[in-house]
Amino acid sequence: MQKAPTGLNIAIVGGGLSGLCFASILAKNRHIVNHSVTIYEKGNPNSYQGTSLDLDKNSQNVLKQAGIFHKYNAISRPGSDYFKLFSSSGDMLSVFFVPKVLKWLIPSSPETNRELMRDAFLENLRYENVDIFFDTAVENAEQTENGSMRLYGDDQKVLGEFDLVVDSSGFRSNLRRLRIEDDGKYYTGITMIHGSIEDPERVFDEKMLDMLGEGTVSFLGARAQSLSLQRYGAGIEDHRTSLYFSCLWADAHMDDAIGLSKDRRNTSGFYCDKESLDLVKNWIIEKMGNHWNPYYHQSIHAIDQVCIRPLNQHPAPTFINDHMNLICIGDSLHTVPPYTGSGGELALGDALDLAKLLIKDGNELKMPHIRELEKKMLKRAASVAKQGDYTKKWFTKNEHSDAVMTRTELTGGYRIAIFLLWLLAKIYNLEVIIARWFNRNK
């Protein structure tokens, strides 16, 4: 395909979900505006990506624009949008799934395997000849006298000068502080112990396998504890499953409380050695105490590697340095906790919107447009964060109580409210699709 003359020189810091997606959309539109793109990623092409993501219809549409949607089935787990909820004593509370007859109305959102999604993006970018520098952490940036942005790597090494820097380096971004003044209060008060089980088929009994099924099962415990198991292998024969044990914890340092030695973590933050695994397993079982049916311990004993994730959320930001040709997107701009289930969707939405804006604005960099878009991204994230606050309130309402949520409780208002909220969210997506279609055809 014929390419347009070279446009802006853009650096992307962080080759995660939003960075790779943004680069892919720009690359696919080079025939309209040929922006030159360079990606700096601190990990290597095989770095651990986390487990899976369930992506709504909007995000699936973003993957279409990025040119990887044709691989969606191959990178997602069939039937994984089946979600079951149990109490910690073993009562089934609810089941959520989209019946076949309603699939035309409510799109399904199976779990998408992150590793395979990253590979699909990378293959795309290789094909498009986009420069990606792995094992290259960006440490700092500054604006030069002529207005361009200079990026620095390790030891103050200059990596290059760019018209625009897009910071997509996630929650621990080094560049966010150049754009946003934070008060440093991030921790939500919930810590998630994130384990991974290689082959539940080998270690679980039949009843437990049945509870797990092919999708996600969550168990709600007393004292705001919860346990979830989720398949993340893409093909049905790939049994890999995540385990999440979440509980309230006063500070973001549960590793220390468990007695873990942080230098035993691998580069992805996981503990894999037997001694650390035993410490974590015993700690969870002790915390579950007699509020949980000991039957569930089999899932804890099955953990093969584990990571401690204090859940964070960015507060509303105060922007500084408006003049800098720097924009943060995704988690670097607005981290929301995983229990919103939407951080990745927001990151993909940011990637699409920024790419579309830069394509529309052509060879000229119009920072006021980018600042307007930044506000839109934040507004979208604020609404997700608000929903997350409700979810947190709901999950933690038993904070001081030994009582477990009961089926009767959920059968009443909660069950109906959850179902309606879920249905509304799905239908809202449909509305967005119709609005987009309508705008396109105006």
Ligand X SMILES: Cc1cc2nc3c(=O)[nH]c(=O)nc-3n(C[C@H](O)[C@H](O)[C@H](O)COP(=O)(O)OP(=O)(O)OC[C@H]3O[C@@H](n4cnc5c(N)ncnc54)[C@H](O)[C@@H]3O)c2cc1C
Catalog residues that contact ligand X under the rule CB under 6 A.
13-19, 40-43, 50, 53-54, 137-138, 168-170, 172, 174, 194, 309, 330-332, 338, 341-345, 347
Residue nearest to ligand X (CB): 16
Which residues make beta-bridge pairs with 83? Answer: 96, 216
CB of 311 to ligand X, least distance (A): 8
For ligand X, the closer CB: 300 or 404: 300
Distance separating alpha carbons of residues 304 and 196, to the nearest angstrom = 6
In sequence order, which residues have a C-beta less than 8 Å from that of residue 336 and are 6 or more positions away? 313, 314, 342, 343, 346, 381, 384, 385, 388
For ligand X, the closer CB: 41 or 374: 41
CB of 166 to ligand X, least distance (A): 10
CB of 265 to ligand X, least distance (A): 15
The DSSP secondary-structure symbol of 186 reads: -
Which residues make beta-bridge pairs with 305? Answer: 196
Identity of the residue numbered 18: S
Distance separating alpha carbons of residues 311 and 36, to the nearest angstrom = 36
CB of 381 to ligand X, least distance (A): 10
CB of 219 to ligand X, least distance (A): 17
Distance separating alpha carbons of residues 97 and 80, to the nearest angstrom = 9
For ligand X, the closer CB: 107 or 362: 107
For ligand X, the closer CB: 15 or 34: 15
CB of 140 to ligand X, least distance (A): 9
For ligand X, the closer CB: 23 or 224: 23
For ligand X, the closer CB: 89 or 387: 387
Q: What is the per-residue burial (b if ≥16 Cβ within 10 Å, else e) of 396-414?
A: bebeeeeebbeeeebeeee
Q: Are 132 and 15 in contact (CB under 8 A)?
A: yes
Query: What is the distance, to the nearest Å, from the Cα of residue 338 to the centroid of all Cα atoms in its chain?
Result: 7
